[in-house]
Amino acid sequence: MKAMVLKAPGSALTLENMPDPTPGPGEAVAKVLACGAGLTIHHARAGRLPIKTPRILGHEITGEIVATGAGVKGLERGDGVTAYFYLTCGECRWCRVNRETLCENFGGYVGREIDGGYAEYIKLPASSFVKFPEGLDWRTHPAEAGVICDAIATPLKVTRKARLVPTDTVAVFGAGGGLGVHMLKVARWAHARKVIAVDVMASKFEACVKAGADATVDASDGRVAERLLELTGGKGIDVAIDFVCGAATLEPAIAALGKGGRLVTLGGHGGTFSVRAGEVLRKEIEILGSRYATREEVIESLEIVARGEVWPMVTEKVSLADAEALHQRLDKALITGRAALMVG
Ligand SMILES: [Zn+2]
C-alpha cells in the first residue's frame, strides 16, 4: 500500500510503499477513504510531541472494514468505521466509569504509538474502530465523517465539562483553528446565549461567524479581557474555552470570567500562567482541564451529525501525496477549520 511516512521527528512526510497490513487476533483492517489533518497530528509531525519513527500518522479516519482477525465480534467486511484514537484498556477504574482518557494503562494514540490513517489501509485493535450510525452518508462525505471523532467529539465533551447551559456566554480562544470553529458550532448547538470567537488572525473571523459566532474579538491588540467585558456589559463571560493555552490567552480568559465562570483548557502545549487565588475565590471561578472525549461521546457526536444538527467544516481536501504540503500550511496556521487527506 501507499502511505505517507514520518521517518524522523521534525522531518518531511514522504510517500512510501509499505506492506499491506493483515489483522491478527482481535484486530481489524480498514481501507482508508479519508483522514483528517489537524494540529494534534502536526505537533507529532513537527517533533513537538514524542513519537517513535518510522510512523504513519493520522487518526480522524473514514474507513471501510476489509478484513477481521480471529475473535473479532461486531465488525464485518463493508462496515463504515471511524476510530476512537486513545488506546485504552477498558478495564481500569477510569475506563469503568466512562473516563477512559485517564486510563491507568494508557497505550498512547492511533497515529503516534501505532500506525494511523495517512495510508491506503489501517490496522487497529477492533475495539478502536467505531461504526458509523445509520443516516450518516460516509461514502459521499468521507472527509467530514472522518473528522467527527475528534473535531466534534472533543468540543462535545467541553460543553459537559463546562456544564454549558443556554444562559451562558461563551468565548472560544483560538476560535479559527481546527477545533476552535467546531467548538463554536457545538456551543451554538448547545444553545449558548452568546458565542464569541477570539483569535489573533482576523482573516479567520468570516469562518467563525459562519460557524455560529455572534461576535469576534481580535486578540492581536492585547485588549481581549477589556473587549470581552464590553461585550457582556461588564458582567464577564460564563465560559472561556482555550485551545491556545499559554499565559497570553489563559490570563485574559480568567480576567474576563464573570461570577461563577468556568475556564476549560485543552491545548496540548499548555504552558504556565498566573491567577490570583483571591479572584478565584471571590468569583467562585472553576479551572478545568479536558482531554479528548469518551468513546461514548464519539458515538454521540456521530449521531448528532447523522441527525443533521451539526456539520463539520472541512475547508481543504488534498490527495495523500500532498500531505506534506498541507502540513506546511498547518504549521503556519493558514488552515481555517479542518483539512483532510482524500485517500481511497
Ligand atoms: Zn483503562
| Centre of ligand 1 from the C-alpha of residue 84, in Å | 14
Q: What is the pLDDT of residue 245?
A: 87
Report the 10 Å Cβ neighbour count for 231: 20
Per-residue model confidence as pLDDT tens digits over 294-315: 999 999 999 999 999 999 999 9
Per-residue confidence (pLDDT) for residue 303, from 0 to 100: 98
pLDDT of residue 221: 87
Average per-residue pLDDT in the chain?
Answer: 95
Ligand 1 midpoint to CA 93 (Å):
7
Grid cell, residue 161, equals: 465539562
How far is it, in rounded angstroms, from Cα 26 to Cα 262?
41
Judge contact between 93 and 116, C-beta under 8 A. Answer: no
Residue 314 makes CB contacts below 8 A (sequence gap 6+) with: 36, 143, 144, 147, 337, 338, 339, 340
In angstroms, what is the span from residue 100 Cα to ligand 1's centroid? Answer: 6
Residues 73-105: tens digit of each pLDDT: 999 999 999 999 999 999 999 999 999 999 999
DSSP assignments along 244-279, one per residue: S-SHHHHHHHHHHEEEEEEEEE--TT-------HHH
How many CB atoms are closer than 10 A to CB 246? Answer: 15
- Largest Cα separation within the chain, whole Å, is 62
Ligand 1 midpoint to CA 46 (Å) = 29
User: 199 C-alpha to center of ligand 1: Å?
Assistant: 36
Share of the chain above pLDDT 90, in %: 89
How far, in Å, is the centroid of ligand 1 from the Cα of 106? 6
Specify the range with the lowest mean pLDDT, choosing from 58-62, 142-146, 336-340: 336-340
Distance from the CA of 205 to the center of ligand 1, in angstroms? 40
> What per-residue confidence (pLDDT) applies to 270?
72
Given a contact cutoff of 8 angstroms between Cβ atoms, the answer to whether 157 and 186 are in contact is: no
Residue 47, number of CB atoms within 10 A of its CB? 14
Q: Could you tell me the distance, in angstroms and rounded to a whole number, from the CA of residue 101 to the centre of ligand 1?
A: 8
All three cell numbers of 192: 449558548
Measured torsion, CA atoms of residues 38, 293, 303, 177, in degrees rounded to the nearest 10: -30
Closest CA to 171 of 180, 281, 259, 344: 180
Helix (H/G/I), strand (E/B), else coil: 203:
helix
Q: Does residue 267 register a pLDDT over 80? A: no
Q: pTM, whole model, 2 decimals?
A: 0.96
pLDDT in tens, 186-218: 999 999 999 999 999 999 999 999 999 999 999
DSSP-derived 3-state class of residue 226 = helix
CA–centroid distance, residue 40 to ligand 1 (Å)? 22
Q: Is 91 left (phi over 0), alpha (psi -120 to 50) or beta?
A: alpha
Cα of 91 to ligand 1 centre, how many Å? 5
How many Å lie between the centroid of ligand 1 and the Cα of residue 293? 14
- Res. 182 pLDDT band, cuts 50 70 90: very high
What whole-number distance in Å separates Cα of residue 99 and Cα of residue 121? 29
Query: Cα of 94 to ligand 1 centre, how many Å?
Result: 6
The per-residue pLDDT for 121 is 98
pLDDT for 34 equals 98
pLDDT in tens, 125-157: 999 999 999 999 999 999 999 999 999 999 999
Residue 7 reports pLDDT greater than 90: yes
* Spacing, Cα 241 to ligand 1 middle (Å): 27
Distance from Cα 298 to the centre of ligand 1, integer Å: 17
Q: What is the pLDDT of residue 39?
A: 85
Asked whether 304 and 152 are in contact (CB, 8 A), the reply is: yes
pLDDT at 49: 84
Per-residue confidence band for 268, with pLDDT thresholds at 50, 70 and 90: low
SS (H, E, C) 46-80: CCCCCCCCCEECCCCEEEEEEEECCCCCCCCCCCE
Query: How many angstroms does the Cα of residue 58 sit away from the middle of ligand 1?
Result: 22
Share of residues in the chain with pLDDT > 70 (%):
99
